[in-house]
Copies of this chain bind each other. A is one copy, B any other.
Amino acid sequence: MKLLFSPTSPYVRKCLVVAHELGLNGRLQLQASNAHPINRDREIIQSNPLGKVPTFFTDDGQVLYDSRVICEYLDTLAGGSLFPRSGPARWEALTLQSLGDGMLDAALLARYEDAARPEAIRWPEWRAGQLDKIETSVQHLQARPALLAGRVDIGAITVGCALWYADLRFADFGWRARCPAVAAWYAGFSQRPSMAASWAL
């Protein structure tokens, strides 16, 4: 199994955390890539025309993307329980994954505004709108502590990766002071070996 990798992609990190939780990380070969929204990586595009990471190759040669598909594949392969198989528990976990992915999408757009777009053509209201998506999401979790308490599944992992990325890119965002219950949850969850691991090539 092979994963096209970038050390700072939060979606790649989701897949690596899932693989680690499932005991599959030793079987995963990481391959460097240079995904970029403007200078698009033509090598990725040969397999995944969106030119994004993570892109994943099964041992049978099937190409899978994006992170949601890869994570569910890994869970199925390992016979794991990170994706509840049916019923309300499945929809709750998948919706929590959507929440975490939405936080990540917003953080990445704010990051492109800060770091990729030339300074003269940045739009503060756009950046503020994206960061506000993260803010209202963390507030939502703060008001519903039962959503995360004791949970180790694709929903919790995705939210954990979103908070990891928010800290990486927006260190002064200051969400912990406003959402202490989420901060307490993350302080524990981020100690899991899967979350604390670091990956490099």
Contacts and interface: CB of A to CB of B under 8 A. Distances in A.
A79 interface: no
A111 interface: no
A125 B38 contact: yes
Given A94-B69, A123-B117, A123-B121, A60 B88 contact: yes
Contacts of A45: 136
A167 interface: no
Contacts of A68: 68, 94, 98
Interface string A49-61: 1111000001010
Nearest to A98: B66
In the complex this chain forms, how many copies of it are found? 2
For this complex, into which size category does the number of interface residues on chain A fall? Answer: 35 or more
A24 to B, nearest CB: 16
A91 interface: yes
B91 A37 contact: no
Contact of A92 (B37, B40, B62, B139): B62
A76 B86 contact: yes
Contacts of A102: 50, 52, 66
Interface string A97-141: 011011101100100100011101111011011101100110110
Nearest to A125: B38
Given A38-B126, A66-B102, A102-B50, A91 B117 contact: no
A73 interface: yes
Contacts of A120: 121
Given A49-B140, A66-B98, 5 more contacts: A40-B129, A49-B133, A76-B86, A117-B123, A121-B121
